[in-house]
């Protein structure tokens, strides 16, 4: 075999390999989405393929220039060489554009933590703001969970990351158990495929930061397989019903776009909404069976959660500990506690001072212990009165110097707050929720402008509470009252539950 034939065979084989790798990369690239990115290695392969193709094109053009157009008439020579040069330039510019597109379309960010296949990725936008996201290996791709965590503090992002590592797992799907002689095997197989497709999509698209998604298998008479996986959506304890309802609506809209209601109505019969200590089934079908309308679903969810969140039996169910979050373990040194100024306090008629003492601080939030000071000497009452929640202690009070008392903890930079109740002098606290003021905006969404409890007092056997707006984002204005109002609430059961009276 002469050298010319060997060179042709070698070149042909190389081109076939290069073409096969290119097709392989294009197929992989086609599988990308906002939630899936190619491995860094495959991304690098794509860049090298573009560089190699540029070299190949240059070599081919040189060959055409030097060999093919060597023994042709002068006019055809100039035309051929000019065409080869133009084609080379066009191809190289096109490939350079593809190369730049890959570079700018693949901002992997910086992996700040990696464990058990999970990665915490930090990215910076054009303004220098940092955001975080959780990724995991998935075949040839990195798969992103639940969108970006957002502009959270480092400690918060790491907490979300470890919640995935330590068991925040996805639903793997449902195994299809179909007998060989089942006359409905084809239909059942299709239903299992729809169910698993729904589960996979729901897991990928659900916003898990400050939200929980789990599943409950229930009997179903509307399909052939006889069961369905019902999503359980947890608010995770914060009274941000507007965002919570909006998150559910947007997530459900994505699910309905992926699997329309008419394709599998049994998937959308219900969802279970879980707020602290309350878990109730929400009739989803009545809001989506006739077509999805965000305003209608949002209002139905809001009313449902507001009612269930503020039932009188709620506080009794919510009496649970959320654990310790970095609380300093004191050694009984009175001088140490005496040297720390409480963030808020209440003084009885006998001169005893109850103070919320900041014992630790992380990610912009403080964590407190409750001390009682008599004659200036501190005595520990409750090492963790807010059940592990962090923020800024706003106020503490006891009703008429009795053991019945309340405390307020602001969070989210002072935009929101939690209300806590004690009936044993502060030795234990439980979180109490109150109904929304339900102000409707121009886009028909509902929100509660009254987010910061300001004070609670006793009057004629009942308790009254005044709840103000956020000092930073509270912008609700009453034309009737000609001011930014507060919400007035009343309790007929010593603060176990509250009813909304109106604006004041």
Tens digit of pLDDT for each residue in 106-152? 555 667 777 777 777 776 665 656 667 777 666 556 666 644 454 44
Distances (CA, A) of 327 to 167, 319, 321, 419: 24, 20, 14, 21
Beta bridge partners of 232: 214, 272
* Contact in structure between 420 and 385 (CB atoms under 8 Å): yes
Element spanning 138, H or E: strand 130-138
Dihedral pair phi/psi, residue 283, rounded to 5°: -75, 90
pLDDT at 324: 31
Q: pLDDT confidence of 68, banded at 50, 70, 90? A: low
Per-residue model confidence (pLDDT) at position 129: 61
E-assigned strand segments in 392-440: 392-398, 405-411, 416-422, 430-432, 439-440
Query: Exposed, middle or buried: residue 471 (CB in 10 Å: 0-12, 13-18, 19+)?
Result: exposed
Rg over CA atoms, the chain: 32
**141-150 and 36-38 strand pairing:** antiparallel
More confident residue, 501 or 245: 501
Order across the sheet with 212-219: list the strands: 212-219, 227-234, 270-275, 278-283
The pLDDT score that the predictor gives to residue 277 is 54
DSSP 259: S
Residues 384/402, Cβ–Cβ less than 8 Å: no
Q: What is the pTM of this model?
A: 0.53
Q: How many residues does the chain have?
A: 504
Residues 6+ apart with CB under 8 A from 221: none
Query: Which helix (H) or strand (E) element contains residue 342?
Result: none
Distance of CA 450 to the CA centre of its chain: 24
Between CA 139 and CA 28 the distance in angstroms is 11
How high is the mean pLDDT of the chain?
Answer: 75
Residues 21-47 have pLDDT tens digits of 666 666 666 555 555 565 566 666 666
Structure tokens at 14: 């190389």
Nearest to 456 by CA among 411, 394, 414: 394
The neighbouring-strand residues paired with 86 are none
Q: How far is CA 277 from CA 225, 273, 421, 452, 483, in A?
A: 32, 11, 16, 22, 36
**Residue pointed to by tokens 């409890």:** 453
Name the pLDDT band for 74 (thresholds 50, 70, 90).
Answer: low
- Give 447 or 404, the one with higher predicted confidence: 404
DSSP state of 414: G
pLDDT in tens, 358-370: 988 876 788 999 9
* DSSP three-state, residue 372: strand
Phi and psi of 491, rounded to 5°? -125, 130
Say yes or no to pLDDT of 78 above 80.
no
User: For the chain, what percent of residues have pLDDT higher than 70?
Assistant: 59
pLDDT one-digit tens code per residue, 362-393? 767 889 999 998 888 888 889 889 887 888 99
Residue 148 region by backbone torsions, left for phi larger than 0, else alpha for psi between -120 and 50, else beta:
beta
Taking residues 61-87, what's their average pLDDT? 64
- ∠ Cα 145 220 295 (to 5°): 55
Query: CA 155, 234, 219, 182: dihedral to nearest 10 degrees?
Result: -40
Instruction: Name the residue with higher pLDDT: 363 or 489.
Output: 489
């Amino acid at each position: 075999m002469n050298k010319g034939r060997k060179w042709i065979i070698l070149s042909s084989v190389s081109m076939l390999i290069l073409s096969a790798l290119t097709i392989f990369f294009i197929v992989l690239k086609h599988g990308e989405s906002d939630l899936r990115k190619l491995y860094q290695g495959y991304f690098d392969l794509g860049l090298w393929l573009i560089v190699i193709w540029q070299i190949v094109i240059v070599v081919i053009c040189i060959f055409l220039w030097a060999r093919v157009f060597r023994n042709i008439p002068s006019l055809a020579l100039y035309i051929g060489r000019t065409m080869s040069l133009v084609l080379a330039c066009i191809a190289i510019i096109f490939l350079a554009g593809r190369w730049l597109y890959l570079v700018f379309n693949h901002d992997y960010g910086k992996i700040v933590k990696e464990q058990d296949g999970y990665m915490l990725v930090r990215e910076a936008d054009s303004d220098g703001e940092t955001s975080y996201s959780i990724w995991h290996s998935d075949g040839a791709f990195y798969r992103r969970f639940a969108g970006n965590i957002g502009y959270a503090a480092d400690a918060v992002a790491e907490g979300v990351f470890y919640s995935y590592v330590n068991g925040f797992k996805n639903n793997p799907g449902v195994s299809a158990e179909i007998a060989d002689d089942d006359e409905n095997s084809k239909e059942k197989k299709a239903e299992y495929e729809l169910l698993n497709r729904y589960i996979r999509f729901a897991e990928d698209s659900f916003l898990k930061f400050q939200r929980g998604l789990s599943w409950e298998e229930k009997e179903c008479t509307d399909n052939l397989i006889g069961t369905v996986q019902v999503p359980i959506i947890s608010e995770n304890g914060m009274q941000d019903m507007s965002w919570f309802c909006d998150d559910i609506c947007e997530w459900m809209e994505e699910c309905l776009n992926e699997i329309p209601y008419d394709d599998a109505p049994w998937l959308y019969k219900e969802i279970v909404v879980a707020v602290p200590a309350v878990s109730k089934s929400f009739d989803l079908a009545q809001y989506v069976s006739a077509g999805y309308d965000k305003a209608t679903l949002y209002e139905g969810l809001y009313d449902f959660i507001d009612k269930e969140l503020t039932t009188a039996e709620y506080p009794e169910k919510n009496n649970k500990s959320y654990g310790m979050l970095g609380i300093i373990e004191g050694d009984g040194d009175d001088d140490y506690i005496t040297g720390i100024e409480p963030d808020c306090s209440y003084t009885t008629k006998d001169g005893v001072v109850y103070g919320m003492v900041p014992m630790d601080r992380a990610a912009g939030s403080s964590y407190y212990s409750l001390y009682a000071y008599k004659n200036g000497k501190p005595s520990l009452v409750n090492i963790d009165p807010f059940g592990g929640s962090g923020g800024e202690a706003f106020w503490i009070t006891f009703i008429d110097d009795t053991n019945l008392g309340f405390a307020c903890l602001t969070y989210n930079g002072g935009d929101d707050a939690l209300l806590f109740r004690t009936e044993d002098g502060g030795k234990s606290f439980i979180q109490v929720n109150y109904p929304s003021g339900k102000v409707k905006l121009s886009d028909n969404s509902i929100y509660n402008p009254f987010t910061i409890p300001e004070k609670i007092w006793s009057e004629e056997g009942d308790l009254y509470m005044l709840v103000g707006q956020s000092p930073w984002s509270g912008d609700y204005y009453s034309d009737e009252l000609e001011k930014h109002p507060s919400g007035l609430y009343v309790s007929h059961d010593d603060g176990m539950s509250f009813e909304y009276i109106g604006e004041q």
